[in-house]
């Protein structure tokens, strides 16, 4: 089987010639520090992993006055930013002794909203939330752009990639910094602690906020018809059971993300629901939303709660399972034999009958090359 065929069969919960093995995002920090700055494709070739190409291409709706932001230079995994005369995004560097800091002003006819991102060599994070007053969501609803997928560009790159591997994308996130899921996007914009408190103090406002974000995502998902993706990502870690209760999931997560999954299926797309955190309390809830796959099955040693054998028994006949590998303990500081044993354990716990893709439980920044090779080599020996 080609890597693409192997991935697609696994997503259909079919047996493959051998265990599909890959990784989540290949972080620029890792490639720069450990691999002399090689490309993502070269990384997959070096270690013999089943490759993934991430594509995210936005297209402005010119009939609504949208256009590409002429000031924006896309960064890691970023599409070209879409703006309008009523929704301009202006970056401003802020002096900071520790981190690179940029404040973004969202300029609209009624109000300017601001958010600030900080970055180090590893990653970026939000240190000033965009939504500071509850009325700010009305500004987003009235003036925020609703980018669509540039299907032609996605298909051009997918055709060039061919049978090499999987083409993955994700449901559109909020401008500058966001997450694919509605709840997760709201968490980035308002702050997860404040959002959780608002579900108790002002649930109607939270529902209104989530609906605004859902409508932006619906426009994007409808535009995915004909796009040659193999898998589209929805969700995010703030919907994990180590962050929110089952009651919050039932009222504020599933009612907004499940319809997006249905809409994506109607557009001919497969969906993976990404939950990097606790999952065991939510397994059936996640499967009930009817994604094609769920990830990341974070093990206890990394702050999650996954027991792969139990997860396989409970939902393995309903969804493809992606992840489950402890990259913190088995990509650094151990022997290749220990890494191989962990690969074999994952395969024995979750691989029965197919429908399992071995993958670290989210991305990694540091890894020893001999352990990455052991990870890939042992997975290729796991045959059905």
Q: DSSP states of 119-141 as a string?
A: E-SS-EEEEE-S--STTHHHHHH
Q: Which residues contact 374 (CB under 8 A, 6 or more apart)?
A: 336, 337, 339, 340, 343
* Average per-residue pLDDT for the chain: 97
The pLDDT value recorded for residue 362 is 86
Cβ proximity of 249 and 288 under 8 Å: no
C-alpha dihedral sign at 92, 83, 219, 228: negative
**Which of 324, 318, 322 is CA-nearest to residue 290?**
318
Report the C-alpha gap between 337 and 65 in whole angstroms. Answer: 58
For the domain covering 3-65+76-81+146-380, report its CATH number: 3.20.20.210
Partner residues linked to 233 by β-bridges? 170, 272
Q: Supply 201's token pair.
A: 């103090």
110: three-class secondary structure by DSSP: coil
Cβ proximity of 275 and 237 under 8 Å: yes
Q: Which residues of the chain have pLDDT under 70?
A: none
Determine if residue 273 is left, alpha or beta; phi over 0 gives left, psi from -120 to 50 gives alpha, anything else beta. Answer: beta
Q: Which residues contact 348 (CB under 8 A, 6 or more apart)?
A: none
Helices (H), the chain: 3-11, 28-34, 40-47, 136-143, 151-161, 182-190, 192-201, 203-222, 246-248, 254-266, 283-288, 308-315, 327-330, 336-350, 369-380
Determine if residue 192 is left, alpha or beta; phi over 0 gives left, psi from -120 to 50 gives alpha, anything else beta. Answer: alpha
Report the C-alpha gap between 323 and 344 in whole angstroms. Answer: 13
**Which of 173, 175, 147, 157 is CA-nearest to residue 229?**
157
The pLDDT value recorded for residue 298 is 95
The pLDDT value recorded for residue 92 is 97
The pLDDT value recorded for residue 334 is 97
Q: Tell me how far CA of residue 239 lies from CA of 43, 243, 298, 313, in angstroms.
A: 31, 7, 14, 22
Cβ proximity of 300 and 306 under 8 Å: yes
Residue 366 half-sphere exposure toward CB, CA atoms < 13 A: 5
C-alpha dihedral sign at 128, 303, 52, 373: positive
Q: Tell me the backbone φ, ψ of residue 195, rounded to 5 degrees.
A: -65, -40
Torsion (CA) 231, 232, 237, 243 in degrees, nearest 10: -100
Q: What is the pLDDT of residues 205-262, one digit of tens each?
A: 999 999 999 999 999 999 999 999 999 999 999 999 999 999 999 999 999 999 999 9
The domain segmentation of the chain, as residue ranges, is 3-65+76-81+146-380
């Amino acid at each position: 089987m080609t890597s693409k065929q192997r991935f697609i069969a696994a997503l259909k919960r079919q047996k493959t010639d051998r265990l599909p093995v890959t990784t989540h995002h290949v972080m620029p920090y890792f490639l720069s520090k450990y691999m002399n700055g090689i490309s993502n494709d070269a990384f997959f070739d070096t270690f013999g992993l089943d490759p993934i190409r991430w594509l995210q291409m936005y297209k402005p709706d010119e009939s609504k006055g949208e256009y590409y932001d002429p000031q924006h230079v896309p960064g890691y995994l970023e599409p070209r930013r879409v703006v309008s005369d009523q929704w301009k995004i202006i970056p401003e560097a802020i002096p900071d002794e520790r981190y690179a800091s940029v404040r973004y002003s969202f300029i609209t006819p009624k109000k300017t909203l601001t958010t600030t991102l900080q970055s180090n060599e590893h990653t970026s994070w939000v240190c000033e939330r965009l939504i500071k007053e509850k009325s700010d969501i009305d500004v987003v609803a009235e003036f925020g752009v609703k980018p669509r997928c540039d299907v032609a560009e996605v298909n051009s790159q997918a055709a060039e990639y061919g049978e090499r591997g999987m083409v993955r994308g994700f449901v559109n996130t909020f401008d500058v910094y966001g997450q694919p899921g509605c709840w997760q996007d709201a968490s980035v914009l308002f702050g997860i602690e404040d959002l959780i408190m608002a579900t108790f103090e002002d649930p109607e406002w939270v529902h209104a906020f989530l609906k605004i974000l859902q409508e932006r995502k619906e426009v994007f998902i409808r535009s995915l018809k004909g796009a040659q993706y193999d898998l589209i990502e929805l969700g995010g870690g703030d919907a994990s059971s180590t962050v929110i209760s089952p009651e919050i999931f039932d009222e504020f997560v599933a009612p907004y993300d499940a319809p997006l999954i249905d809409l994506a299926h109607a557009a001919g797309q497969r969906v993976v629901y990404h939950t990097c955190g606790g999952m065991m309390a939510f397994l059936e809830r996640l499967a009930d939303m009817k994604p094609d796959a769920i990830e990341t099955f974070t093990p206890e040693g990394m702050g999650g709660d996954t027991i792969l054998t139990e997860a396989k028994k409970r939902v393995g006949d309903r969804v493809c399972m992606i992840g489950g590998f402890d990259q913190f303990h088995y990509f650094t500081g151990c022997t290749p034999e220990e890494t191989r044993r962990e690969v074999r354990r994952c395969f024995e716990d979750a691989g029965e009958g197919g429908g399992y893709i071995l993958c670290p439980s989210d991305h990694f920044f540091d890894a020893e090359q001999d352990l990455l090779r052991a990870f890939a080599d042992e997975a290729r020996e796991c045959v059905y």
